[in-house]
Amino acid sequence: MKPYVVAFVRPDRMNAQDLLWLLLPLAAASGWFVARLDSKRQAARSFDLPSAYFRGLNFLLNEQPDKAIEIFVQVLEVNSETVETHLALGNLFRRRGEVERAIRIHQNLIARPTLDREQRTYALLELGQDYFKAGLFDRAENLFLELAEVRAHSEQALRLLLNIYQQEKEWDKAIQASHKLARVAGKRMDDVIAQYYCELAEQAFAKGDFSAARDFLRQALAADGNCVRASIVLGDVHAEEGRYREAIEAWRRVENQDAHYFGEVAHRIAEAYRRLNDEQGLYQFFSAALQRHAAVSLVLTFADIIKQRDGIKSAEKFVVEALRRHPNVHGLHRLLELNVEQAEGPAKTDLMLLKGIIEELRQQHQGYVCQQCGFRGRTLHWLCPSCSRWNSTKPVVEE
């Protein structure tokens, strides 16, 4: 396939001069075509091609794009060589947010009987993207579904379909489309499919349908055994139903799936042990976990456990030892908290001030960051709001 002009032009950075360059091949092709027309056809023609092109360009430069489009569409009537230029023009309008104009250009293109199959499917892909941008999801979906059957463009069509399903939160359809896309593109999409199942599970969970939620989570884990989110939500469902042992079991899996997220479940696990009145189990679990990980969240959780069990002095001693091994602002903050509790008078005021300063420092060392685009946020997004990737956001490294 000949590369389309669209691929080489960044329409969002285009100005009038760029447009002129873009449209030059159109003028050249038109002139060439005119030269080749026989006298009979030339006599029947209602307008002269090069002058039509210049009139169109003039309208464009005078910011009268509708009139320009009319002219270009007329030029296209007799010359399918200009398809690429029209595609580029349609793409330009869509990117500038002038979706109705883009739709008109692409619809006119598709109506041309002279288009070859490749050009037609390409124009349909573009039209589908116009519909998507215009919020006409049903129309876009129908087009992409049709195009997904065309071998040359099925991968792109399926990716665009996935965009629609994600936007519309139609997770069932997203799962189906992902399986097809994985086949067509020859790539595994198991981790994304697991996220879609997690979305379905959270919907069911929110409605109070715990059994459906658990089923979806099992499917998520079947698709991707390392799906941290499925383990977290499965634990939440069990806990909601009062099954704390099962909840702990689900949350504990996170450690082996991806230890970065262990901090997400540490406080949940501690709370579940407390609900079970299992102080012994709580102490044993966290002291053993601390042998395996030096994560700050574990240190902080264990400091609370020691404080409850052995008193504030023991907790303070534990935090000081942990800080000696791994100095960090979170541990320092907890140490100050413990000190503030025990202090009185002016010493307490000074410690409060210091705690406030450390608190601000601490803000810079917490939250979540997308490994793909660097987006930072305070909450954990499984789908990055900035680059729209799944599974790319991790807790800020706290060790």
* Minimum CB–partner distance for residue 249 and Zn ion (Å): 32
C-alpha 19: how far from its chain's center? 32
Between 85 and 393, whose beta carbon lies closer to Zn ion?
A: 393
Is there binding between residue 369 and Zn ion (CB under 5 A)?
no
Between 30 and 163, whose beta carbon lies closer to Zn ion?
A: 163
Between 203 and 386, whose beta carbon lies closer to Zn ion?
A: 386
**Amino acid at residue number 278:** D
* CA–CA gap between residue 92 and residue 232 (Å, rounded): 44
Name the DSSP class of 37. Answer: S
* Minimum CB–partner distance for residue 130 and Zn ion (Å): 26
Strands 393-395 and 376-377: unpaired
Between 347 and 387, whose beta carbon lies closer to Zn ion?
A: 387
How crowded is the C-beta side of 263, counted as CA atoms within 13 Å? 18
Is there binding between residue 384 and Zn ion (CB under 5 A)?
yes
Is there binding between residue 372 and Zn ion (CB under 5 A)?
yes
Between 135 and 374, whose beta carbon lies closer to Zn ion?
A: 374
Neighbours of 286 (CB within 10 A): 22
For the record, the structure tokens of 385 come out as 């709001």
* CA–CA gap between residue 308 and residue 303 (Å, rounded): 9
Angle between helices 117-133 and 99-110 (to 10 degrees): 160
Is there binding between residue 386 and Zn ion (CB under 5 A)?
yes
Between 292 and 376, whose beta carbon lies closer to Zn ion?
A: 376
* Minimum CB–partner distance for residue 385 and Zn ion (Å): 8
Give CA separation, 336 vs 60, 340, 385, in Å. 67, 6, 35
Span near Zn ion by CB under 5 A; candidates 130-138, 174-182, 224-232, 367-375: 367-375
Between 5 and 162, whose beta carbon lies closer to Zn ion?
A: 162
Q: Are 128 and 140 in contact, with CB atoms under 8 Å apart?
A: yes
Span near Zn ion by CB under 5 A; candidates 99-107, 179-187, 260-268, 366-374: 366-374
Is there binding between residue 377 and Zn ion (CB under 5 A)?
no
Name the DSSP class of 397. Answer: P
Q: Are 58 and 65 in contact, with CB atoms under 8 Å apart?
A: no
For the record, the structure tokens of 155 come out as 């991968």
Nearest by Cα to 194 from 161, 216, 163: 216
Q: Are 348 and 341 in contact, with CB atoms under 8 Å apart?
A: no
Between 210 and 375, whose beta carbon lies closer to Zn ion?
A: 375
Angle between helices 262-275 and 296-310 (to 10 degrees): 20
| Total interface residues for Zn ion by CB under 5 A | 7
Between 251 and 261, whose beta carbon lies closer to Zn ion?
A: 261
End-to-end, the C-alpha distance of the chain in Å comes to 52
Is there binding between residue 387 and Zn ion (CB under 5 A)?
yes
* Minimum CB–partner distance for residue 388 and Zn ion (Å): 7
**x/- letters, 29..48, toward Zn ion (CB under 5 A):** --------------------
* Minimum CB–partner distance for residue 369 and Zn ion (Å): 9
Candidates 375, 380, 381, 394: give the one binding Zn ion (CB under 5 A): 375
Instruction: Please give the helix or strand (H or E) that residue 376 lies within, else none.
Output: strand 376-377
**Amino acid at residue number 333:** H
**x/- letters, 321..360, toward Zn ion (CB under 5 A):** ----------------------------------------
Candidates 373, 377, 380, 381: give the one binding Zn ion (CB under 5 A): 373
* Minimum CB–partner distance for residue 378 and Zn ion (Å): 15
Span near Zn ion by CB under 5 A; candidates 98-106, 157-165, 169-177, 363-371: 363-371
Supply φ then ψ for residue 366, to 5 degrees. Answer: -145, 175
Is there binding between residue 370 and Zn ion (CB under 5 A)?
yes
* Minimum CB–partner distance for residue 260 and Zn ion (Å): 16
For the record, the structure tokens of 234 come out as 């499965």
Interface residues for Zn ion in 280-309 (CB under 5 A)? Answer: none
* CA–CA gap between residue 313 and residue 168 (Å, rounded): 54
Between 270 and 370, whose beta carbon lies closer to Zn ion?
A: 370
Span near Zn ion by CB under 5 A; candidates 28-36, 301-309, 354-362, 383-391: 383-391
Binding site for Zn ion (CB under 5 A): 370, 372-373, 375, 384, 386-387
